[in-house]
Structure 1
Amino acid sequence: MSVARRTVERIRQPEYTGENRCLPCTATNLVIAAVVFAGVALVSVPVAIAVAALSVASIWLRGYLVPGTPELTKRYFPEWLLAKFDKQPTPDPTPLGEFNPEQALLEAGVVEPCADVDDLCLTEVFETTWRERMAALEDDANLRDGLAAQLDVDPETVTFESFGEAYVVRDGETNIGQWESRAAMLADLAAAKELPEWVTGWEALTPHHRSRLLGGLRVFIETCPTCGGAVTADTEIVESCCRSTTVVGVDCTECGDRLLEVPYDEAAA
């Protein structure tokens, strides 16, 4: 590796560049660089050009020009503006009364009031059949066949890839699905095969409503589909490029697979 290349790599801050780049930070610093350039140009155009080149290089390699910009944007930029730049998907709000996954699962006999706590639990029959379906999908070949049947693709072209906090399914070079983990995918695919036998009018539900039912079911999992350990739920702070968000995470304690992550609603809690 050349000296120049090593120097660039030492200066580069991957936590604030590439896919992690904070766009509000970049925009703010470019504006600052433009103001500085205009001021210096009144004295010396050549010097202003050099300042502009160094400023742009700093923003490109480090993500910002002014130290502390990422934290400043999180603290002082309005939430609605940060949300527009945030790369994390945010669930579309559904008007109250339009669709209630919990009520739908209760009416279908999938869940019922728990015997010992004031909450809902999976019915024994549904939990047994759901877990049997998950177990049958643990083998990669069966999983490919199941996904191919659900998504109408060729099982021979289906591949899996895990990176960061995402588990991605591809059909050739095309992404056809993404989950929090393999465990979450197993749970959804097995539930998608079982729920039509329980939920009246399943075929008439929109993809959005089906997705909410599948995600809602993952809350009730007590044993991890992949490692067999216990499942716990807790709140945590998730850092994105632009802001900090409180979420509720449902995780497998033994292997760390995340089954579900949803924004924390303090009022609802």
Structure 2
Amino acid sequence: MLDALRNPEHTGENRCWPCTAVNGALLAFACAVIGIWLPARRTVRGLVALALGTVGGGVIALRGYVVPGTPRFAPRFVAALPGIDDPHAAGPSDSSPDDPGSLASGADDATGERAADALVDAGVLHAVGDTVHLDERFRERWRAAMADVRNEDLATAVRSVAEHAESVETVEEGRWLVLSGGGPASETWLPRPVAVAEVAAVRALADDGVPVALRAPAASALRTFLQDCPACDVPLAETTTDDCCGSATTNPMAPPETVLACPDCGQRSVTLD
């Protein structure tokens, strides 16, 4: 059970110890404040502080941090401390996730199957023998919707279709959108091309009778039919994560993934394997 809760991106050999120390210090301070100033009996204050310290310490141990957004603000904070080398100095990719997310992150296989069936029933996808084709009329409407989304505030656009997200933040000079449901464990990182493609697909699917609950999973599946970068509108190229956006695995012995990525912005839109 603990392995299912553990976040390998920020624990084990990938743990940022200065960031862990910062989180530990903040947690200790919060426990001290509660233990001293909480308007309650001394015994109650002690129990609340102990509970907070236990839960917070467990989150730091399993997830790497307890303060939301630590991977975004901690590298700059740690770099400013005297005598401490910035563990994230290699570049933006060090704070970005290994597996870029989707509006459909968290959806199970059954939901994915229902979304695929809904796309076929709506005529968005056509099954021909053993192959599946995207309806060209839908493709044109999707492209038009992507052009509209590119001209909007993307965080606002994502928030309008991601009802589960309590906040949406643009980071790394607009390359990523971070959706949060209220804590570190709930964060989903969307590369800009993925965000543009999926928001546009959700909007386009509204005209095809696809149920609201299935539009995000359907939009995620439709990315496999992209031909051009949703963010740059230039043809996508088949490449690997080593060549376009750095290795996408925490295991250095694992081979790079094959992806469709943009030659201009260097971000992937689709992972092929």
Structure 2 length-normalised TM: 0.48
Structure 1 length-normalised TM: 0.49
Q: Who wins on radius of gyration, i.e. which is larger?
A: 1
